[in-house]
Homo-oligomer: A and B are copies of this chain.
């Protein structure tokens, strides 16, 4: 049921996720979802939660790998960027939807857990002097916001029209190049 909504979101965006279409895709009536979710938003939240947990798991695996801290950071950023590229509507739901962000409870917990994984990747870089020794929360926020801005602008088609703007991945590399020299050697 959550899976059906997720697929519809990928295929046709937010507007395609009608309870009738979700019901039909899951082989039930158009208001069977109301027996499992409070309303449409709660159903979408379950999609967002699954994605938040998937991302958190991916970052956790990267953290446990034997790459250098800096490589782990790059891999983490690329993983989020790939998710945004391959699932733009689901990315939008998870990171841009105001109604989802306003939810308390498990959705908020999942979002914070995902962010915490991300923050640890940044912290490891700082410990290894691969990122500057500025306040950890500020640096994490700046990197995450820059990443999100690149994915968001690019995902909604606002990075091409300009005069030779570079893509998401090169921009991420540029950001890290600009941050790295500020770190003590």
Interface 9-mer from A31-39, A69-77, A131-139: A131-139
Is the C-beta of A63 less than 8 angstroms from some C-beta in chain B? Answer: no
Q: A96-B96, A142-B175, A182-B181 are in contact. Are A153 and B162 (CB under 8 A)?
A: no
Copies of this chain assembled into the complex: 2
Which B residues are CB-close (under 8 A) to A13?
Answer: 98
Is the C-beta of A150 less than 8 angstroms from some C-beta in chain B? Answer: yes
Contact of B161 with A112 in the complex, beta carbons under 8 Å:
yes
Contact of B132 with A159 in the complex, beta carbons under 8 Å:
no
Is the C-beta of A65 less than 8 angstroms from some C-beta in chain B? Answer: no
List 18 additional contacts besides A140-B165, A141-B166; criterion CB under 8 Å: A92-B96, A95-B158, A98-B157, A112-B161, A115-B162, A137-B165, A137-B166, A140-B162, A141-B162, A145-B150, A146-B146, A146-B149, A147-B149, A149-B149, A152-B152, A178-B178, A181-B182, A182-B182
Is the C-beta of A28 less than 8 angstroms from some C-beta in chain B? Answer: no
The chain B residue with its CB closest to the CB of A149 is B149
Size category of the A interface is: 35 or more
Chain B: minimal CB distance from A165 (Å): 4
Contact of A157 with B101 in the complex, beta carbons under 8 Å:
yes
Is the C-beta of A163 less than 8 angstroms from some C-beta in chain B? Answer: yes
Contact of B162 with A137 in the complex, beta carbons under 8 Å:
yes
Contact of B171 with A159 in the complex, beta carbons under 8 Å:
no
Contact of B98 with A132 in the complex, beta carbons under 8 Å:
no
Chain B: minimal CB distance from A16 (Å): 13
Contact of A171 with B145 in the complex, beta carbons under 8 Å:
yes
Which B residues are CB-close (under 8 A) to A162?
Answer: 112, 115, 119, 137, 140-141
Is the C-beta of A44 less than 8 angstroms from some C-beta in chain B? Answer: no
Q: A141-B171, A142-B174, A181-B182 are in contact. Are A156 and B97 (CB under 8 A)?
A: yes
